[in-house]
Amino acid sequence: MTLLDDPDAIKVGWKAGPEQYPPTDLLEFAITAERVGFDFVEASDHFHPWSEAGQASFIWTWLGAVASRTTSIHIGTGVTCPILRYHPSIIAQASATVGALAPGRTYLGVGTGEALNEYAATGMWPEYDEREERLGEAIDLIRFLWTGDQVTFTGDYFETREAKLYTMSPHQIPLYVSSMVPESGYFAGCYGDGLITTGGKKPDVYKQLIKNFEEGARESDKDPETMPLMIELSGAYTDDTEGAIRCTLQYWAGAQVPAMFDQKIYTPEMSAMNGQVVGADFLKSKMCISGDPEEHVKWLKKYTDLGFTQLIFHSAGPDQKGMIERYARDVLPHVREERA
């Protein structure tokens, strides 16, 4: 069974933050997430962290470790950029290998990237329109290779010559496409098996985003009713509001600035400088910071009422393992009541 099965069921995932934690700590957290009942793990694929205080492990190595230490939880990227730092054939191979290690519980999330990772590692950062074109071509090539056939491909941006994957996933790998704004929703619907976006915006933004996604899906002869809608939600399950805000600002302030996703901001220092405009009041308006499980249930329900079916809980701290355990104990049972 993959995350594409039972699309009406609400699933809750935990966000692994390799931009903040060392890979060994993250591995133990992922094992904990499986033990206490989270449905899936979503992990960033970063070359640089958002701040100098952070980390940036190679996520494909980490996913292999998680696959070998778990048995039921689903794992995947949120998201990887298969257009500059990676050739799409490498991402096809990497995801197929994780699929072989974790059969039926792997997914691939892709997007157009950030200069923080792509420009820093390659010196290239095309305009958004080109990056979107590259992503569409990359997705096509990844899907061709996932068939197991020998692929000679000549595109506008990528080529292969008699390329073939010899280690295959025994199950279909769902491919989710990131869309941060309504304007890219149509593209995500055309190319993806599902949608990935982030929380904290006004409801009308999501309504338009989903509408555009559904139009793109129908245009590509897909049924949007069967396609998962995944959203990453930042919060903190704690009464220590000050500590939660401090951790978020220390490691993730740059991620809150929209310019990070299209401007040539490519070092953690530059990211942190841009993140200086983010304050406590802003974070409180975007996040659910509370030790009351009912507040979190209400917060998550706002997104399921909009149509989202896969919720990713991301917390910067201060107690990651304890948060995972408490959230599963106090919040997840109530979310699952909504599934019934």
Domains and CATH numbers, the chain: 11-339 (3.20.20.30)
Q: What is the DSSP letter of 80?
A: B
CB of 146 closer than 8 Å to CB of 213? no
Asked about 114 being catalytic, the answer comes back as yes
pLDDT at 318: 78
Global confidence as pTM:
0.96
CA distance to 11, 52, 109, 122, 276, per residue, from 85 (Å) = 31, 21, 15, 6, 28
User: If we measure between CA atoms, which residue out of 84, 79, 80, 83 comes closest to residue 119?
Assistant: 84
Say which of 34, 46, 118, 137 is annotated catalytic.
46
d(CA 152, CA 46): 29
pLDDT at 157: 98
d(CA 203, CA 135): 27
Asked about 225 being catalytic, the answer comes back as no
Phi-psi region of 168 (alpha: psi -120 to 50; beta: other; left: phi over 0): beta
Tokens 């985003």 label which residue? Answer: 209
Quick one: tokens of 10? 């609400």
Q: For the chain, which residues score pLDDT lower than 50?
A: none
Gyration radius of the chain's alpha carbons: 19
CB of 78 closer than 8 Å to CB of 85? no
pLDDT at 255: 93
pLDDT at 4: 62
Quick one: tokens of 288? 């659910």
Say which of 34, 42, 114, 214 is annotated catalytic.
114
In DSSP terms, which residues pair with 178 in a beta bridge? 196
Q: Provide the 3-class DSSP secondary structure of residue 175.
A: strand
User: If we measure between CA atoms, which residue out of 67, 66, 95 comes closest to residue 80?
Assistant: 95
